[in-house]
Chains A and B, each alone.
Chain A
């Protein structure tokens, strides 16, 4: 066991050399410093270059020849994981070093224009390369990405992140229970539920409007941050919206304002669309040259940021999709999980909670990523107390043994989710009776029906021991009908209930969803 690698840092050295040229040596030095620091923490870490043919041959795999090829990168990471079974797998670099996987967005169409739900979850799964996100509902691996800046030539940013990871020291749980949370006012009820379930109170939840993006230093200096706001592609800002649904979207969070103000060690979770998009700052639409909010947090010293690459989903009242993913992540961090384990547990818990996952759940699972060193454990947990005279690294052996037990459990659980979770696949045609029923219902609720997407659900064979009462197909959903519906102007009220989602089993045994 002593020889086992605990943490693998996966990167494409050729891509980093191309980006940083002679300054690449600064990154190499920082990687070495991180590995040394990990060693002192009892973690055996190793750098693996996916583009190095000698290294990859040792893992019986081909080196990555095209940096931006998701299939090559997925095969390389799978081979590394299979050979070393690390407890932590850290992808080093942004999407121009190791790309996100190119998962197809199951909701793609006229209403949701993202063709892809880009993400890192396939790197955390045993299934081979695929563009179908439904193939990755059973994550087994602890994975996170420590990104540099896309298209950057200055290594200072990633060197700072590596140094920050090397010097981290866990804090107490109370450091993270004083939180900072911002919600678009229109989603206040959902956000309120999220923060109460995560932090036990809603005292530090702010709504925009009436608040604005100029948060006080007291608020920004807190360690746990949570956001449920609007977000847009290539913007370094999140946005609020009034509760009455009017088309007014004041800035709720601005990366330019945040720069230098959030603390070292912060952990943030953002439900917002594109909150975890690693865009090239030169393309930024809010201010040319401004890095995104995720990159800004990490640059300020944040240990971790959970965010979405694309358009994200969640109801205005109650919790689902992005709400749950962020909640589960923060809850796990608060109980002492490493950032990477918190992400894996959040993903597994999310799949279990949404069983059977609908297409928007599948997109949610695909698009949320951990940015940060996955081995960082923000909240200090009690260590084994050993008799005097025991070697100094002995406590880490006990920790390592416990960690391996957790990894084995999470691996088995992930495999079980893969084997048991029914997944929706796009179908060609809607049943007219169901479609008409949905449209009728939507109009009754004051909403104008729009695009419809149809999915069939593929179920797995029932376990032999499952009682007939549970296995009966009469209560088993066989499909999803998703109708996007827009509230009609004349039915909008300030205080009236907003229908979020309707699910029922129709006579045809299909589950229908109405998504306004």
Chain B
């Protein structure tokens, strides 16, 4: 498990494929990671969609292009992205 900080955004994922959807992603310094949550619907997770537009600090682990997060906090101060 690692800590990640970034802004949450919604972006098109795998356009034209059999998993095309609007993905919730964490924009990090190393690039975008598709956010997933244990037990959440991979294509439409209301819990994660609530975070869109916010900068968060989260704990999770990567699996390829995905970041599976277990808990997170909203960063009130936008500069708090260390």
Interface, chain A (partner B; CB < 8 A):
111-115, 228-235, 239, 241, 247-249, 251, 271-274, 283, 285-288, 311-314, 322, 360, 450, 484-486, 515-516
B72 contacts A by Cβ under 8 Å: no
Q: Is the CB of B64 within 8 A of A113?
A: yes
B68 contacts A by Cβ under 8 Å: yes
Q: Is the CB of B15 within 8 A of A247?
A: no
Residues of chain B within 8 A of A231, CB atoms compared? 18-19
B59 contacts A by Cβ under 8 Å: no
Q: Is the CB of B18 within 8 A of A450?
A: no
The 4 closest A-B pairs by CB, nearest first: A515-B16, A232-B42, A249-B43, A113-B65
Q: Number of residue pairs across A and B with beta carbons under 8 Å?
A: 90
Within 8 A of A (CB), among B9-35: 12-19, 21-22, 34
| CB of B27, distance to nearest CB on chain A (Å) | 13
Q: Is the CB of A247 within 8 A of B18?
A: no
Which of A234, A287, A450, A516 has most B Cβ within 10 Å? A234
Beyond known contacts A271-B18, A272-B18, A274-B19: 16 more, CB 8 A cutoff: A111-B12, A112-B17, A113-B14, A233-B63, A233-B66, A234-B66, A247-B22, A247-B44, A273-B19, A283-B63, A285-B42, A286-B39, A314-B18, A450-B15, A515-B16, A516-B15
Q: Is the CB of B34 within 8 A of A285?
A: no
| CB of B23, distance to nearest CB on chain A (Å) | 10
A322 to B17, CA, bound (A): 10
Residues of chain A within 8 A of B16, CB atoms compared? 111, 313, 360, 484, 515-516
Residues of chain A within 8 A of B37, CB atoms compared? 285
Q: Is the CB of B38 within 8 A of A230?
A: no
B36 contacts A by Cβ under 8 Å: yes
A114 to B76, CA, bound (A): 34
With A112-B14, A113-B14, A486-B12 known to touch, is A232 a contact of B19 (CB < 8 Å)? yes
* 29 A-B pairs with C-beta separation under 8 A: A111-B12, A111-B16, A113-B13, A113-B14, A113-B64, A228-B18, A230-B18, A231-B18, A231-B19, A233-B64, A247-B21, A248-B44, A249-B42, A249-B44, A271-B18, A273-B17, A273-B18, A273-B19, A285-B39, A285-B40, A287-B39, A311-B17, A311-B18, A312-B17, A484-B16, A485-B15, A486-B12, A486-B15, A515-B15
In the complex, which residue of chain B has the Cβ closest to the Cβ of A275?
B18
| CB of B73, distance to nearest CB on chain A (Å) | 22
Q: Is the CB of B14 within 8 A of A322?
A: no
| CB of A241, distance to nearest CB on chain B (Å) | 8
Residues of chain A within 8 A of B64, CB atoms compared? 113-115, 233
In the complex, which residue of chain B has the Cβ closest to the Cβ of A482?
B16
In the complex, which residue of chain B has the Cβ closest to the Cβ of A245?
B20
| CB of B64, distance to nearest CB on chain A (Å) | 7
Residues of chain A within 8 A of B44, CB atoms compared? 247-249
A20 to B63, CA, bound (A): 26
A503 to B43, CA, bound (A): 30
Q: Is the CB of B18 within 8 A of A313?
A: yes
A233 to B63, CA, bound (A): 9
| Size band of the interface chain B makes with A | 20 to 34
Residues of chain A within 8 A of B39, CB atoms compared? 285-287
A249 to B44, CA, bound (A): 7
Residues of chain B within 8 A of A272, CB atoms compared? 18
Which of B13, B21, B41 has most A Cβ within 10 Å? B41
A367 to B14, CA, bound (A): 16
Q: Is the CB of B42 within 8 A of A322?
A: no
In the complex, which residue of chain B has the Cβ closest to the Cβ of A271?
B18
A287 to B66, CA, bound (A): 17
Q: Is the CB of A113 within 8 A of B34?
A: yes
Q: Is the CB of A312 within 8 A of B15?
A: no
Residues of chain A within 8 A of B21, CB atoms compared? 230, 247, 249
| CB of B30, distance to nearest CB on chain A (Å) | 14
Residues of chain B within 8 A of A234, CB atoms compared? 36, 63, 66
A481 to B48, CA, bound (A): 35
In the complex, which residue of chain A has the Cβ closest to the Cβ of B22?
A247
In the complex, which residue of chain B has the Cβ closest to the Cβ of A485?
B15
Residues of chain B within 8 A of A230, CB atoms compared? 18-19, 21, 43
Which of B16, B19, B36 has most A Cβ within 10 Å? B16
| CB of A498, distance to nearest CB on chain B (Å) | 11
Residues of chain A within 8 A of B36, CB atoms compared? 232, 234, 285
In the complex, which residue of chain A has the Cβ closest to the Cβ of B68?
A285
| CB of A450, distance to nearest CB on chain B (Å) | 6
| CB of A122, distance to nearest CB on chain B (Å) | 21
Residues of chain B within 8 A of A247, CB atoms compared? 21-22, 43-44
Which of B19, B22, B41 has most A Cβ within 10 Å? B19
Q: Is the CB of A311 within 8 A of B38?
A: no
With A235-B42, A285-B38, A285-B42 known to touch, is A111 a contact of B19 (CB < 8 Å)? no
| CB of B34, distance to nearest CB on chain A (Å) | 7
A239 to B63, CA, bound (A): 20
Q: Is the CB of A239 within 8 A of B43?
A: yes
In the complex, which residue of chain B has the Cβ closest to the Cβ of A312?
B18
A493 to B41, CA, bound (A): 25
Residues of chain B within 8 A of A450, CB atoms compared? 12, 15
| CB of A208, distance to nearest CB on chain B (Å) | 13
Residues of chain B within 8 A of A311, CB atoms compared? 14, 17-19
In the complex, which residue of chain B has the Cβ closest to the Cβ of A115?
B64
Given A115, A229, A484, which contacts B15 in the complex, CB threshold below 8 Å?
Answer: A484
Residues of chain B within 8 A of A232, CB atoms compared? 19, 36, 42-43
| CB of A513, distance to nearest CB on chain B (Å) | 9
